[in-house]
């Protein structure tokens, strides 16, 4: 199959159900090569399920998913070699050092033996963990654990980095640190980044394009500033003053999702998810 030039991820009609729950509902989504794409939405929107289909961790019962032109259903191993994945769940072993954790991933991802030590050192340096590399992960802060997980995903030099809620449960300084490291690596390597988040402010600041997901589908797609301007224009057409501040990305989402947002799907900063992750990395 010929890869689609410029498309890192392409989902067409992707549908995934759990019993009676349609988690992902005929999702069409394209992530361009080299961009940072944010998949946004409240709890239960279907973000993690979509991500797990893209990473081949879940099957694609209906529709199609391609990663750099390769069909995940036909060529799962080739797809896995192209991507690095930081899941919501803890993937670092607390009883090993940071360096040992990253070395484990280097082995699993078949990094050549003679390159391994250097590549592990580079991945740790990229996330600013060189000084702490030989400490047990059990002594790391939540932000350091998240950065270590980033190093684990980077050691295989993926073309596509997928992060599921990389900053949830972290304080604002640690959140900024994680994003700065993601951006630095992206700038250095040109890799594509697909990230899910509840934090609209982060998406606004760090993502080139965002897709707002609700009830299993993308409801709005574009650059953060364009989506915000679009709502501003609609509000002015409905009589809002031209001096009103530009709406936020959260305003855009509320405009799209309407009143069902808080009742059925949880809010953006739903405590359950925050608590789950805070317990994990704290």
Report the site for ligand ATP in 258-277 (rule: CB under 6 A): 273
Q: Which of 8, 29, 44, 158 binds ligand ATP (CB under 6 A)?
A: 44
Sheet containing 83-86: give its strands across.
Answer: 83-86, 160-164, 192-197, 36-40, 209-214, 217-222
Whether the CB-CB separation of 38 and 196 falls below 8 Å is answered with: yes
Sheet containing 70-71: give its strands across.
Answer: 21-32, 7-18, 62-67, 70-71
When asked if residue 247 is in the footprint of ligand ATP (CB under 6 A), the reply is no
Cβ proximity to ligand ATP, 81 vs 219, nearer residue: 219
Q: How distant, in Å, are the alpha carbons of 14, 92, 257 from that of 27?
A: 5, 31, 16
When asked if residue 48 is in the footprint of ligand ATP (CB under 6 A), the reply is yes
When asked if residue 14 is in the footprint of ligand ATP (CB under 6 A), the reply is no
**What is the length of the chain?**
282
177: nearest Cα among 154, 206, 134, 212: 206
Output the smallest distance, CB 210 to ligand ATP, in A. 14
Taking CB under 6 A as the binding criterion, the range among 1-9, 27-35, 45-53, 60-68 that sits at the site for ligand ATP is 45-53
Output the smallest distance, CB 198 to ligand ATP, in A. 6
**Phi and psi at residue 90, in whole multiples of 5°?**
-60, 130
When asked if residue 18 is in the footprint of ligand ATP (CB under 6 A), the reply is yes
Q: Residue 168 and residue 269: Cα distance in Å, rounded? A: 9
When asked if residue 46 is in the footprint of ligand ATP (CB under 6 A), the reply is yes
Taking CB under 6 A as the binding criterion, the range among 15-23, 177-185, 186-194, 204-212 that sits at the site for ligand ATP is 15-23
Cβ proximity to ligand ATP, 44 vs 158, nearer residue: 44
């Amino acid at each position: 199959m010929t890869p689609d030039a410029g498309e890192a991820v392409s989902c067409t009609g992707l549908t995934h159900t759990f019993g009676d729950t349609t988690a992902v509902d005929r999702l069409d989504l394209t992530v361009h090569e080299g961009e940072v794409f944010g998949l946004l939405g409240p709890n239960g929107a279907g973000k993690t399920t979509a991500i797990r289909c893209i990473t081949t961790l879940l099957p694609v019962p209906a529709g199609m998913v391609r990663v750099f032109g390769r069909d995940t259903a036909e060529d799962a191993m080739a797809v896995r070699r192209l991507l690095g994945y930081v899941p919501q769940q803890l993937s670092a072993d607390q009883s090993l050092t940071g360096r040992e954790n990253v070395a484990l991933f280097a082995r699993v991802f078949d990094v050549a033996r003679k390159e391994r030590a250097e590549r592990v050192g580079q991945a740790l340096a990229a996330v600013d963990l060189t000084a702490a590399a030989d400490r047990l992960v059990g002594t790391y802060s939540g932000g350091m654990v998240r950065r270590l997980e980033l190093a684990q995903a980077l050691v295989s030099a993926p073309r596509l980095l997928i992060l599921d809620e990389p900053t949830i449960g972290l304080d604002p300084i640690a959140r900024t640190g994680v994003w700065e490291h993601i951006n630095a690596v992206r700038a250095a390597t040109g890799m594509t980044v697909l990230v899910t988040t509840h934090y609209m402010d982060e998406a606004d600041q760090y993502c080139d394009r965002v897709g707002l997901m609700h009830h299993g589908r993308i409801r709005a797609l574009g650059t953060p500033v364009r989506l915000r301007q679009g709502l501003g224009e609609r509000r002015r057409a409905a009589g809002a003053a031209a001096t009103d501040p530009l709406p936020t990305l959260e305003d855009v989402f509320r405009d799209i999702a309407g009143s069902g947002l808080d009742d059925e799907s949880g809010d953006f900063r739903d405590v359950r998810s925050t608590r789950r992750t805070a317990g994990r990395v704290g």
